[in-house]
Structure 1
């Protein structure tokens, strides 16, 4: 095997070059030095000439100590020479890493080469002003390409294919190292838990400008998982964890499957950390034991939240959570909220709710949810006092699809336009949801789709049978990724529509009619104020609604950002969606990005202002509007 005289930076045991300049610095350090009035530290400037390759130029800038330490670590004349010599080696390493093995680097200080015998003396006598000029000139030479690529060892064909390193490709160090990692992980996914892929052996061919690469590989024996132990469980039933486990003894070892099992246990919400640690060796049966170590979250927790808008006023809520009630992941949640001080309210309102969740009910990823609560709303559209309850089955079908079905009931008293009515409603809510967005509170990519259908029977004093249908879709486009600044400029789009079938406008209870206006539909208008109105300008609600939004979200600097948006929506008194009068609202906002989501402040104005509409609306909260 022939090893290049300039071995690549990933080659194990590469010979270190001893530069003449380094010897010069070493010798100068032991010679007597005459007293001088030169500057110490010695200020300097750095100019790296363009190489003609943007990638090379960026790598040189990033690897330069002359640049990164210029202001934070000033140096004297001798140390400046030493720093330049170090950069010369760093630049050559950067060139080699990018495949330019015949590249050269020339560094001069005040026009003098680093190896010039009198350079140190010149700098020792030099004044601080003007600063010394350090210039760097790089010649890349030809780009080397991969020649022979081979795996030294016997590996399965599927794992070998993961190497994905082809002859003729540029001989870039990061690509070779990435291939090494891919091969190792592919072997482990094939069950070779102790597979090793040593550092690649590279042979440089100057005459052909090529690089041969070999990957020394030892697969070892394919193994299956052995006994699975659970460590650290205190309040949690081990039987519940074993029912949930996605890995089992006797299955072939796979790091991806083990990680999926670990992440799934974290997602139960009852653990703060879960670690999955395979043993270092197989057991007497030739299997690989696996241990899951848990740290449980506190069983009780209290949380608080607040938001503000000019139409709904101050909105506060508090929650008390009891986790892992019976040791099988159950939770009991009590939530109370208050609202007041908004222009869309007549008087403050409240809501209280007690919720019980039973995960893995009857089968895996099927959750039983039961709620009971009370609501008081005193809005310009209606006054409502209600007791509500529901029982739902929530199913997670896949990583992105969820659905639910259940039964709901409520008894309520509603006053609208000085008319009091009592309603008793029984519904059968069915919903489906798709979500592949990348972030819950600040999505930059993906789509969200929601669809809800609720057949409802109104019994008692106001008999009616109707079906409420509503759907929404939102998507997020990272336009800044087009120019390599991913996540900075996001266009968010939203559309929604709703329809009621089986009952006319005033046969529907006021709270089951559709409304628009507010942060969920058309910003700039009061909550529920868009649509048909009574003679006193209070909202009637309708049998259908449609709305759409386009919003630009821009990261500006550090944790600060801005937004601009346009909303449009309509409510149809009696008829299908899209048949009403459309109203538009527009606004701008500011963002401050935190670990729990962006702090949002939006200001919107109505573009079709009517008598009684506010001149503007302000919205403050955590998380984006959609």
Structure 2
């Protein structure tokens, strides 16, 4: 005989396994529509209905250390179903919290009956039987030396029975009204012949309402859901009743919560025009685009609670502004370069248009050495003073004006440099993944090696493109990313006479081996080329170098490449780097990362592999935080050059790539 159950969704006040939520929403109380009422045998003292008078309850024997027990679920071969039952079982969940007495354990087992039956129905098993048995070794009267009772054995024997399947799926309008257009029921994850899984029924309902919303019916809802389980042929019929509401159009937009940010800036990020048919995708894009201004802690975009006349409905944008000023700092460390530190001050909304200003000071090579001979006359640490300014929506929505100015004094192993730099460029996203940039840069300075001093003065035209298809900027677990930077350089004085063009291409890929972020394989490749002149005519600070924490780990900074007669890195006109690592999460906050890197530079315009690749390997630790992973890597060179250190330690924020 078929049984029909109407669904009345109700909120839950305590955490409960997802399959139980689905089944309870779908099937209502455990007593209604039950395919098979479980017998009450299996719990000592519990008997089927009888005319005999009830016995007085036994006195509860409380054990000081509680009743320890082991629980086993038997009769289930499917790993997925076994996991569902384990998640639903109170006996399993509270195993570490021993009940005070055997009667307390019996109550816990009895409470599992409805939960496990509900979980079985959620998975499509409507004829399942349960037998819960409790065996207490202490009841035999034999206790081990010391008097501590061994664990009680709890066995949950499950007979799932046949799996029920979907027979029909019907969609209709409220009170027999016709739904707008042909509302397809394909690709809902619910079709004839599929297992009658409760979560699938709920997901299909959500998908149907979502399809109406995408057609402009912002107030669509499911007014009824009827499920009929037919035990004669072990099938389920599902009927949805939908109320689409009126076709909705965007009305006037009200913006709430603004303090110092210009309202026109926020309105410029709205992805619709007044009178346009409602589009949930446009509404969500507006929320993301407003949040991308980085001046708001919270952004909410929603339609008014009730539809307006003829469906024209007001839109409410609610924002909460962030603190306008901020300060920060950071540390880096490597065994060769020593300690590095930085400090900065910034303003997020300088003139009311979300203009960002940041002033920073970086100090490097504190208590470290450059590792090169060119800096012997300069005892100062690496210093960098920078000013960065960004104005969003400059001349066009989502186009940003970026101005960077810096004065630097640094002494890496290959050279010693004092210079000033100014860059003005525009950045514009073409798609959600692809961003392009273009501008002009100028620099003037002095670069010194042991043999030569270069006076430099250049105008450059940096052209860039960056594609990001990963799931997370600082800690990706899937997807790919790539970047291309092409910069023609034109000498405007100084010792360099010939223009040249620098090209740099980087790519990386990430694959989640377990689909849960615990085992992530990552790999990268980097290529570089300088075209237009010889190596000797290129100042060392414009050459390519390999080696260091962001390059070939296991080698010192710039030291995975050819050297001069002073054992200083020479640099090259071309670059080749590859790397791979396995990111293993040991806990939610701790990870271990074995890695291998390889790379070097060449005198030729393109990598010709005339120099041996320098290979390094090692292992790292990661501490995962809300603002990105803290990274500690230890690398060793596998084919070091003469004089290379036997190992390198790197400490920084963010993954290596």
Question: Structure 1: how far apart are the matches of 2:428 and 2:5?
Answer: 63
Equivalent residue for 1:573? 603
Report how many aligned residue pairs link the two structures.
Answer: 613
* Equivalent position SS for 1:506: helix
Contact kept, 8 Å, 1:12 with 1:201, in 2: the verdict is no
The alpha carbon displacement at 1:449 in A equals 0.9
The alpha carbon displacement at 1:208 in A equals 0.7
- Relative to structure 2, which stretch is displaced further, 401-410 or 344-353? 344-353
* Equivalent position SS for 2:200: helix
Contact kept, 8 Å, 2:250 with 2:273, in 1: the verdict is yes
Cα displacement string for residues 33-77 of structure 1 (whole angstroms, at most 9, x for unaligned residues): 565868585544322213222222222221111222243250434
Equivalent residue for 2:554? 524
Contact kept, 8 Å, 2:283 with 2:302, in 1: the verdict is no
The alpha carbon displacement at 1:479 in A equals 2.4
Question: What TM-score, normalized by structure 2, do the two folds share?
Answer: 0.87
The alpha carbon displacement at 1:108 in A equals 2.2
2:463 to 397, 415, 430: 430
Q: 1:3 and 1:300, CA in 2 relative to 1: closer, same or farther beyond 3 A? A: same
Structure 2 unaligned segments of length 5 or more: list them: 8-22
Question: Structure 2: how far apart are the matches of 1:209 and 1:439?
Answer: 45
> 1:65-84 residue pairs with structure 2 within 5 A?
65-84=90-109
1:90 is the counterpart of 2:100: no
- Relative to structure 2, which stretch is displaced further, 69-78 or 492-501? 69-78
1:474 to 508, 519, 522: 508
1:445 is the counterpart of 2:475: no
Contact kept, 8 Å, 2:213 with 2:219, in 1: the verdict is yes
Equivalent residue for 1:552? 582
Contact kept, 8 Å, 2:67 with 2:98, in 1: the verdict is no
> 1:137-152 residue pairs with structure 2 within 5 A?
137-152=157-172
Equivalent residue for 1:194? 219
Q: 1:592 and 1:455, CA in 2 relative to 1: closer, same or farther beyond 3 A? A: same
Q: 1:38 and 1:11, CA in 2 relative to 1: closer, same or farther beyond 3 A? A: closer
The alpha carbon displacement at 1:213 in A equals 1.0
> 1:391-406 residue pairs with structure 2 within 5 A?
391-406=424-439
Q: 1:5 and 1:603, CA in 2 relative to 1: closer, same or farther beyond 3 A? A: closer
1:325 is the counterpart of 2:358: no
Question: Structure 2: how far apart are the matches of 1:516 and 1:29?
Answer: 88
Cα displacement string for residues 582-618 of structure 1 (whole angstroms, at most 9, x for unaligned residues): 2212222122222222221111122222223222111
Equivalent residue for 2:528? 498
The alpha carbon displacement at 1:554 in A equals 1.5
Q: 1:78 and 1:310, CA in 2 relative to 1: closer, same or farther beyond 3 A? A: closer
* Equivalent position SS for 1:351: strand
The alpha carbon displacement at 1:560 in A equals 1.8
The alpha carbon displacement at 1:238 in A equals 0.8
The alpha carbon displacement at 1:620 in A equals 0.5
> 1:165-184 residue pairs with structure 2 within 5 A?
165-184=190-209
Q: 1:553 and 1:498, CA in 2 relative to 1: closer, same or farther beyond 3 A? A: same
Equivalent residue for 1:115? none
Structure 1 unaligned segments of length 5 or more: list them: 113-121
The alpha carbon displacement at 1:471 in A equals 0.9
The alpha carbon displacement at 1:565 in A equals 1.6
Equivalent residue for 1:119? none
Q: 1:361 and 1:91, CA in 2 relative to 1: closer, same or farther beyond 3 A? A: same
1:303 is the counterpart of 2:331: no
Equivalent residue for 1:411? 444
- Relative to structure 2, which stretch is displaced further, 268-277 or 53-62? 53-62
* Equivalent position SS for 1:464: coil
Equivalent residue for 1:236? 261
Question: Structure 1: how far apart are the matches of 2:5 and 2:432?
Answer: 52
Question: Structure 2: how far apart are the matches of 1:496 and 1:29?
Answer: 84
> 1:216-615 residue pairs with structure 2 within 5 A?
216-284=241-309, 286-340=311-365, 341-345=367-371, 346=375, 347=379, 348-462=381-495, 463-481=497-515, 486-581=516-611, 582-615=613-646
Contact kept, 8 Å, 1:109 with 1:133, in 2: the verdict is yes
Q: 1:350 and 1:103, CA in 2 relative to 1: closer, same or farther beyond 3 A? A: same
Contact kept, 8 Å, 1:42 with 1:128, in 2: the verdict is no
The alpha carbon displacement at 1:344 in A equals 2.8
1:129 is the counterpart of 2:149: yes
Q: 1:123 and 1:109, CA in 2 relative to 1: closer, same or farther beyond 3 A? A: farther
Question: Structure 1: how far apart are the matches of 2:59 and 2:362?
Answer: 78
* Equivalent position SS for 1:603: strand
Equivalent residue for 1:214? 239
* Equivalent position SS for 2:501: strand
The alpha carbon displacement at 1:426 in A equals 0.7
Question: Structure 2: how far apart are the matches of 1:558 and 1:297?
Answer: 29
Q: 1:110 and 1:461, CA in 2 relative to 1: closer, same or farther beyond 3 A? A: closer
